[in-house]
Amino acid sequence: MEPSLELDLALGARGARLASLHAALRDAIASGRLAAGLRLPSTRQLAAQAGVSRNTAVAAYELLAAEGWLESRGAAGSFVAELPRAAVAVSDRASVAPWADSRWLRGAVGGWPAPVVSGASPAYPFRTGVPEVAGFPFDVLRRLHTRALQAAAQMPAGYPVAQGVPALREAIAGHVSSSRAVACTAADIVITAGAQQAFDLIARVLVTPGHTLAAVENPGYPPLRAALLGAGACLAPVPLDAQGLVVDALPDEARIVCVTPSHQAPLGMAMSLPRRRALLQWAAARQAIVIEDDYDGEFRFTARPLDALKTLDRDGRVFYVGTLSKSMLPALRLGYVVAPPWARDALVAAQQTAGFGPPAPMQAAVADFIAEGHLLRHVRRLRAEYGTRRRVLEQMLRRHLGDRAAIYPSIAGLHLAVALPGVDADELTRRAWAAGVAVEPLSRYAFGDEVLPGLVLGYGSISAARIPEAVRRLARALGTL
C-alpha cells in the first residue's frame, strides 16, 4: 500500500511553499516523528496531500536527500535515513522529571542480573528455565485455537473476564487437584500472564511500600525478588539447608515469606514435610503470608510429591503460584494463582488494572487442551525424557568432573545445581561459552554479595545424546582454571 503521512502540512504563502514543505519534513525527521527506515509517500501523493505541485514535492525530497535526511532507493521509493542520535532532537536528560524517584527509575529493581556472557547461545545449551519444544503437539493447539477464534467471532464484542476465562480456571482447578493435591475450585483461581505477573499482582495487593518486609530464599529466584522490590517491599535474605528454607532464621518482622518448596530455585532440594509445617506454624503465629512458587513441580522423579503448602494450609495464608510455561510453552505466557478467598477480589481488581491478562481465545484453547488430556500426555512424555537427560548429566558430571564438583540433591525440575569449591564460576562460564557450552553461574541467584562457586545446568533444551560431549567440553574448560 502507498504510505501516507499523518502530519500537519499546512504551508505558508504560495511563493514559500517549497521552503515550508522542506522545513516541515525536516523537523518531523529531526524530532523522531518520522522514524529511520520509514518509507515516505510518492511525490505524487505528497503533492496531493500538501496541496502543492509535483515539482515542488520532488524538489523538497531532493533537498532533504542532499542534506542527508532521506535516501532514495530507486523504484522502491524514498526512505528516512539512519541518523546519529545527536541529530534527532529527543531529550534523554534525567532532569526532565526530577520529581520522579521510583525504584524503577533509580535502577534499584531488576529481573535477572546481567549475564556473564551474552550473545547467541552456543551449540551445547545448558540453559535454565527452557523446556523441550520438539514433540509439542502444535497441530493440536493450532486446531483448538482456531476453534476458539471462530467461537469468539459469534460472541458479542467485549473485554475478557479479568479473573480469567471460566473454562480455563475450571481446567486448571482439576489439573492442580489431581497432580498436586491442591483442593480448589475455578472461583479460587486468577489467570495471569505467566508466573511473573502472578508475583507482580500479589506484590501489588500485599505490599505497603517502604514498610512490608518480605523474606526470600538465598539463593533464590531473582524475578520474584524484582516483583517485590518493584512494589516497594524491603527484602530479608534467608539461608537454606538440606530441608529447604531455614524457618528459625526468619526475621520476626517479616510479613511475607516466599518459597519454592517443590524444587528450590536454584539449588533443587525439596522442602521437607516437617519444615513445611513449621513454616505454616511460624506464619500463623505472626499473621504472615506465604507465597508458594511451585517451580518445576510438575517434573518430579519420585513416586509421589510432598503435599503442597497450599494443601496443608488451613488458615488461608498461602498464595499458590503455578505456570504452564514449562509444561507447555513459555511464549504462551499463561500462569495462575490459587488465592485465599479474602484476597481474590483484590487480585482480580489488580489484574483488571494491569490489562485483563492473557488473550481470551488462547485461554479457551488451552482450557480445551487440558480438558481433552493433551497436557497430561505431554507432561508424562516429557517427564520420562527429562528423567533420562538428568541421569545422563549426573553420570557425565561424576565421570568427568570427579571430586571437583558436588551435585546438589534434587528430586524434580529441569536443572541441576553443581557446587565447584574454589572455582571462579564467572571465568569458567566465559571459558565454557568459548568452548561452545552455555552454562550459568550459581552466583546469579544470590542476594547480596555472597559468593556461590558453582554452576546451574539446565537440561530442558539439550538432548541426552549431546550431553556427554557438552560435559567433556565443560571439563576441559574447568581443567584450564
Q: Tell how far CA 25 is from the center of its chain.
A: 40
Query: Are residues 411 and 302 part of one domain?
Result: no
Query: Are residues 175 and 207 part of one domain?
Result: yes
93 part of a folded domain:
no
The confidence score (pLDDT) of residue 13 equals 61
119 part of a folded domain:
no
Q: Which residue has the cell 511553499?
A: 17
429, 439 in Cβ contact below 8 A?
A: yes
The confidence score (pLDDT) of residue 120 equals 80
Q: Mind listing the pLDDT tens digit for each residue in 120-157?
A: 889 999 999 889 998 899 999 999 999 999 998 887 77
Listing DSSP states for 239-293 in one string gives: -EETTEE-GGGS-TT--EEEE--SS-TTT-PPPPHHHHHHHHHHHHHHT-EEEEE
Enclosing domain of residue 53: 14-87
Q: Which residue has the cell 511451585?
A: 294
Model confidence, pTM: 0.85
Query: Computed over its alpha carbons, how large is the radius of gyration of the chain?
Result: 28
5 part of a folded domain:
no
Rounded-to-integer distance, Cα 408 and Cα 21, Å:
69
Cα atoms found within 13 Å of the Cα of residue 140, Cβ hemisphere only = 16
CATH code of the domain covering residue 454: 3.90.1150.10
Q: How many domains does the chain have?
A: 3
243 part of a folded domain:
yes
Rounded-to-integer distance, Cα 225 and Cα 392, Å:
33
The confidence score (pLDDT) of residue 35 equals 86
Query: Are residues 383 and 362 part of one domain?
Result: no
Alpha helices by DSSP H, listed for 94-221, are: 138-153, 166-180, 194-206
DSSP for residue 461: S
The confidence score (pLDDT) of residue 250 equals 98
Which regions in the chain score pLDDT beneath 50? none
365 part of a folded domain:
yes
Helix (H) or strand (E) holding 396: helix 374-401
Query: Are residues 295 and 262 part of one domain?
Result: yes
The confidence score (pLDDT) of residue 50 equals 84
CATH code of the domain covering residue 29: 1.10.10.10
Total count of residues recorded for the chain: 481
115 part of a folded domain:
no
Query: Are residues 366 and 384 part of one domain?
Result: no
Rounded-to-integer distance, Cα 305 and Cα 303, Å:
7
Which residues contact residue 207 at a Cβ distance below 8 angstroms, ignoring those fewer than 6 apart? 214, 228, 231, 232, 233, 256
The confidence score (pLDDT) of residue 91 equals 57
Query: Are residues 330 and 226 part of one domain?
Result: yes
Helix (H) or strand (E) holding 413: none
Rounded-to-integer distance, Cα 329 and Cα 366, Å:
11
In this structure, the strands spanning 256-259 and 289-293 are parallel
Q: 216: which 3 cell numbers?
A: 526470600
Query: Are residues 192 and 316 part of one domain?
Result: yes
The confidence score (pLDDT) of residue 296 equals 78
98 part of a folded domain:
no
Helix (H) or strand (E) holding 28: helix 17-30
Helix (H) or strand (E) holding 320: strand 318-323
